[in-house]
Amino acid sequence: MSYFGRFNYDYKEKYLLEATLRRDGSSRFGANSRWGTFLSFSAAWRISEENYMVNARDYINNLKLRVGWGQSGNDEVGNYNGFSSFRSNITNASYPITGSTTSPTVGFYASAIGNPDAKWETTSTTNIGLDIAVLKNSLSATIDVWQRKTTDMLYTLSIPMVVGAAHLSFRVRQD
């Protein structure tokens, strides 16, 4: 489930602001971490709309400076990640029993360790950009510089084979 809100402000088509708030819920996390809140902000200044740019408008059609910062969330770690005992973390395997003349016995083992403290992975991005269009918009360019950082990265931790998930085979000798 998600909730989403956005606020836009435009003053004289020169100064632009936008803010976004997103609240996401996921059943992939425990009760204490089920909801994540993600914000973003951006601002732009259309320099080409300033009064001192009137004489340049014949050849500079758009000149805009932009800045922004925002967060997004990720819950793609698999179902039931918080529990070691749920179906997605349990795998079936065949185990031969020494001395058995029948087919191997089917059993189960935990293939991954659950993380009850898992929470939303968050990616924060900061951006600075410049847009320019010249010669009646026949030539345009965009320059962006950005930095992205991810925190609380989600991953599944597999259990080592030495914990009991190793598949061993035995040959029964019959005399």
- Extract the tokens encoding 94: 């065949």
Q: What is the pLDDT of residue 47?
A: 96
Instruction: Say how many C-beta atoms besides its own lie within 10 A of residue 36's C-beta.
Output: 22
- Interval 26-68: pLDDT, tens: 888 878 888 999 999 999 999 999 999 989 988 999 999 999 9
- Interval 66-121: pLDDT, tens: 999 999 998 887 666 665 555 555 666 776 666 656 677 777 666 666 677 788 88
Cβ contacts of residue 107 below 8 Å, gap of 6+? 92, 93, 94, 95
pTM of the model: 0.68
Q: What is the pLDDT of residue 70?
A: 97
Hey, where are the domains in the chain? 2-79+117-153
- Is 117 in contact with 130 (CB distance < 8 Å)? no
Q: What is the pLDDT of residue 157?
A: 62
Residue with tokens 């597999």: 158
